[in-house]
Structure 1
Amino acid sequence: MARILVAGGGIGGLASALSLARRGHGVTVLERGEVFAEIGAGLQLGPNAFHALDRLGVGQAVRDRAVFVDELRFMDGTTGEKVVAMPLTASYRARFGNPYAVVHRADLFQPLLTACQASEGVDLVPATTVARYEQDEQGVLVRTADGRTLRADAVVGADGIRSAVRRQLLGDGDPRVSGHTIYRSVIPIGKVPEELRWNTVTLWAGPRWHFVHYIIGGGEYLNLAVTRDDGASVPVAGRPAARDHVLGRFPDLAGTPLTLLGLGEGWREWVLCDRDPVDVWADGRVVLMGDAAHPMLQYAAQGACQALEDAVVLGDLLADCAADDLPALLERFGRERRERAGRTQLVAREMGTRLYHPAGRAAEERNAMLRALTTEDLYDRVAWLHGAREFTASAGVPLRG
């Protein structure tokens, strides 16, 4: 059994802790917040996420909180016309082996937290920020921001897009600012006209903007997220935004999306950031995962899904390993995951420019291309992402032995 420190108590950190503890290791999770909690709004979970959650033992708990949508719907946001829809019901579930769902972030976080709290192998330590690490023959020494030191056989950096562990491991500077500003709101479903309570993930695409909405919280809330490609160059995270400001930034929405946007309240804004894929995820006994390793834009709806995949693969690779085997296994973890996660990063970035934001003739050509796709064509396009069950470059080959 190894002693492993996980820096970061978000979705990726808790999933990693649970995966490693289920493989026999003792895990301490260091969370900078005063409590273990997840803020934010809605997120989408593909079948690959549910395959990972099942492997972690919390799949049913998340299903109990999820909303299973009927289709992914792509609309022209300026004309109001339906362009294409991908059904997510029987044929989709039969092909990919699990449903597609939407949840509030807390509805994913809480089952992971509950499972970690119930695990004898996981120790949860709040109000502890990892500042840096040092390695020697005995393992890794972690220094915290308040001057404490902790020793372990390995460290997992799950401390997000501005990871302190990554800063030391790679030294590659700040995240890339995308130039896109997103505004988010969650409203009670009672505010929404009944005829607009669609059981879909609906995306309205317009010139240099798009608007996504779906029901979360077991049907009690509507999640709203509207994004403008505005060239923003300074990161912003969760800043309050006035309703009139948000509405004023999207004057060319068609009637239905404009109605829904007008229902929003308590708006907050973010300037989205990501990073380019990297080949190096590990440094001796220290490894990155989740947003610390491969932060991505939300346009492929895979950020949380890829972190869950990371956690499963990490646990599988480190099953019953000796402490001396950790450097080689952590380096292999990066090799096994970097191609798939890196491809997802780049696809998400491309979707935000070529698919969601074209104007004029380019938008017309996009609509024509999408309308020509059959349901099976759509399934084929997402199969590499939604249909994965092994999550590695060497899928089908035993990870150990």
Structure 2
Amino acid sequence: MSKKNTLPMTIIGGGIGGLAAALGASEAGKKTAVLEQAPEFGEIGAGIQLAPNAMAVLDRFNLLNEIDKYAVYPQRLVLKDAYSGNELSELDLGKAFKERYGYSYTVMHRTDLHKVLLEACEKDSNITLLTNHKVIELDNNKEFIQITCDNGNTYEAESVIGADGLWSETRKHFVQDEAVCSEYVAYRGAIPMEEISEHADFDDVIMWVGPYLHLVQYPIRRKELYNQVAVFKSFQYRKEIEHSDEWGTPEELDEHFGRCVPVVQNAVQFMQRERRWPLYDRKPLNNWTDGRFTLLGDSAHPMLQYLAQGACQALEDASALADQLHDKNEVEEAFLAYQNERIPRANKVQQRARTWGDILHTDDSIATLMRNTYFQDRGAQDFEVVDWLYGHIVKQKEKTALS
């Protein structure tokens, strides 16, 4: 016998985006329920980069002091050639950067960020957290949304926010699309600092780039761990084996990075090889709202990792949603206004992440020369190249102040 209950605004998915959405809704005075399919709330993965546009949202939710307990604040973003070892470009993340954007560039362990958000939700009386709730059916009625879960529970929710990630079930309400495989895979490894060679730089975020590959390195968790992510294109990929482990193998990992400078070759030896992450995104949508139902984060705009903006854009979503819930009396109006604000921005970031990946991984000699010349000619405090990305929240605040 199924049990039927009513729920307030309901968020499907208890990841970074879902928890942030709950905090934003609570700030606007809304009660929410967060449905998580797993037995407990948690995150997998290792490092995460939080640019100023994300830090502004975490500040809005009064979480910077908690973030500071785990975070590392790097001094530079550095681009290096994985074949020659030459430094191609740097972005100074020091005083001038912080003054321009209002916040430091921050790196931390993904599970630590999730923990901070989860603890904030647990303390909030407006937020109910429910585990073991995998949603298997949604019926969008005019006055409520019926939610059916695999545990037998059925709910009537006042409204729904789908925040269930790249493999979203809620997205299917809007489009029957497939995730797009980039044919690249990532191997990750976060290892104790004492195991790192003397070549590691603990004050920088470093990206080594080469044809069809890159390696990212930076310290996390108060500089107790060193996070590394090795990414490469698999030439074994075929559509018929896409969902198997027959492509992007550890052997390919070694083959790709075996051509790099010794420091990169050495770093790859520390990768955890029992699991790899195929990299996917989806095509941008021009609508993700239907009355009392909307999407947020990777459910709405899953993107490739090359701009380190996936979680940042989910946090921007949560902030924009909170704004509209403050301003609009009806949830349908708030959801539609939220969508209208966010779709152009999120789609732009989504598309540019693809382009940035093409630039980083090019094997064309002329394109490589043009890329390297451009980066080598710019100064470390030439921030115009990232203004559109990192300065978004600052510009919004300035616009609000003028109005």
TM-score (norm 1): 0.92
Matches within 5 A, 1:279-298: 279-298=286-305
Kindly indicate whether the alpha-carbon contact (under 8 Å) linking 1:161 and 1:175 is maintained by their aligned counterparts in 2: yes
Counterpart in the other structure of 1:273: 280
Aligned to 1:315: 322
Partner residue, 1:138? 143
Tell me, yes or no, if structure 1 residue 370 matches structure 2 residue 383. no
Relative distance call for 1:207 and 1:259 in structure 2 (3 A) is same
**Equivalent-residue separation in structure 2 for 1:376 and 1:55 (angstroms):** 27
1:337 pairs with 332, 336, 342, which one?
Answer: 342
Distance 2:245 2:29 in 1: 38
Answer yes or no: is 1:306 the counterpart of 2:313. yes
Taking structure 1 as reference, are residues 100 and 289 closer, same or farther at Cα in structure 2, changes over 3 Å only? same
Q: Which residue of 2 aligns with 1:380?
A: 384
> Is the aligned partner of 1:350 residue 2:371?
no
Structure-to-structure mapping, 1:32-47, within 5 angstroms: 32-47=37-52
Contact 1:279 1:335 in 2 (8 A): no
Give a deviation string over 1:45-89, Cα, whole Å, max 9, x none: 001111010111212211221111010100010011111111101
When the two chains are superposed, the root-mean-square deviation of aligned CA atoms in Å is: 2.4
How far off its partner does 1:243 sit? 5.8
Q: Any gaps of 5 or more consecutive residues in structure 1?
A: none
Q: Secondary structure at the match of 2:393?
A: coil
Counterpart of 1:315, as a letter, is A
The 5 Å alignment of 1:71-86 reads: 71-86=76-91
- Match of 1:268, SS state, is coil
Distance in 2, Cα, partners of 1:158 & 1:242: 31
TM superposition shift of 1:167: 0.8
Letter in 2 for 1:69: P
Which whole-Å deviations, capped at 9, do the CAs of 1:180-213 have from their partners, x for residues lacking one? Answer: 1111111111110234243111111111111111
SS of equivalent residue, structure 2 residue 399: coil
Distance 1:191 1:237 in 2: 32
Say whether 1:206 aligns with 2:210: yes
Kindly indicate whether the alpha-carbon contact (under 8 Å) linking 1:237 and 1:270 is maintained by their aligned counterparts in 2: no
**Structure 1 pair 135–172 and aligned structure 2 pair: CA distance change class (3 A):** closer
Q: Provide Cα deviations, 1:380-399, integer angstroms capped at 9, x if missing partner.
A: 0101111121687x98359x
Structure 1 CA distance, aligned partners of 2:334 and 2:372?
46
- Following superposition of structure 1 onto structure 2, how do residues 159-198 of structure 1 map, counting pairs within 5 Å? 159-168=164-173, 170-198=174-202
SS of 1:314's partner is helix
**In the superposition, relative to structure 1, how do residues 344 and 299 fare at CA in structure 2: closer, same or farther (>3 Å)?**
same
Shift of 1:142: 1.1
Counterpart-to-counterpart distance in 1, 2:272 and 2:195: 11
Q: Show the counterpart of 2:61.
A: 56
Match of 1:147 among 133, 152, 161: 152
Paired-residue identity, %: 32
Amino acid corresponding to residue 355 of structure 2 in structure 1 = E
CA distance in 1, matches of 2:254, 2:14: 35
Give matches, 1:118-133, under 5 Å: 118-133=123-138
Amino acid at match of 1:396: K
Distance change in 2, residues 1:189/1:108 (3 Å): same
Matching of residue 396 in structure 1 with residue 396 in structure 2: no
Who is 2:270 aligned against?
263
